[in-house]
A and B are shown apart, each in its own frame.
Chain A
């Protein structure tokens, strides 16, 4: 009976092996994760930070790595490859790293989004589209970008961009040009209700 007592009720929850300074939190995965994340955020060296994250159970390990990438992406010395390697294949982390270190061209960035951002590929491509439009692309560059995969967000943003840029027409983007022009007109009116008509 005494043995049963000891086994059934008197045992504490298992304590997880952890990094120094976090032993007090080892009885609870959420607390332990918060402690380990707190300990790795100031570490710029991934070879110090990743082993600490990897002491956590799987889902928390991914969170820890993602938080490190998010925090450290502010340091320009860490390359895109280092950040992506720390992500260890997690789509949201990769999306964050790709955002922090975008490729030189829109097409390359969308290709990277497609390869690494998993279910967030459209969000990732959307951010690429936003960056493209902020760089005042030529009409030819817009047309080329619209031919690339995952161009839905770019297509959605284009009329607003045109209106903000003071243009009343979209570039010639094929059969949807007229529809795009109509949306530009609506956007101009929305931004300036006193304008009664947008001249073609």
Chain B
């Protein structure tokens, strides 16, 4: 049986060979929420309810704001009610701008 190799020892030669079955990016070194946000970006939730469930799990207000901002920017079709529910996950000072974005018809055309 071969000894287990560190992931970088597998990833580096694979990256050099152009194989894409392994992650060629540097491992996440940030906080748990920052690393979770990387995954969030890589596989965005399909519905606002799913997004809300995932984002509510973040405790870092910056990560929450980035996730809500990204998701609502990419899902302009979201209804004002669904958008408002996502904005409700943010700190009070951030909610006003978030609500404007999700409820203003001119920004969602």
Which of B's residues lie within 8 Å of A, judged by CB?
A: 8, 11-12, 15-16, 24-26, 29-31, 34, 37-38, 41, 61-63, 65-66, 69-70, 91, 93-94, 96-97, 100, 105-107
Contacts and interface: CB of A to CB of B under 8 A. Distances in A.
B26 A38 contact: no
Nearest to A120: B106
13 contacts: A8-B16, A9-B16, A25-B34, A25-B62, A28-B37, A28-B38, A30-B66, A31-B63, A33-B69, A37-B65, A38-B62, A38-B65, A71-B97
Contact of A92 (B25, B63, B106): B106
Contacts of B106: 92, 95, 120, 123
B26 A13 contact: yes
Contact residues of B: prevailing secondary structure: helix
A126 B97 CA distance: 21
Contact of A37 (B8, B11, B24, B94): B94
B93 A5 contact: no
Contacts of A8: 12, 15-16
B97 A30 contact: no
A194 interface: no
Q: Give the interface size class of chain A.
A: 20 to 34
A11 to B, nearest CB: 7
B8 A31 contact: no
Given A11-B26, A31-B34, 19 more contacts: A5-B12, A8-B12, A9-B8, A9-B11, A9-B24, A10-B12, A13-B25, A24-B34, A28-B38, A28-B41, A31-B62, A33-B69, A34-B63, A34-B65, A41-B93, A41-B94, A71-B96, A92-B107, A96-B100
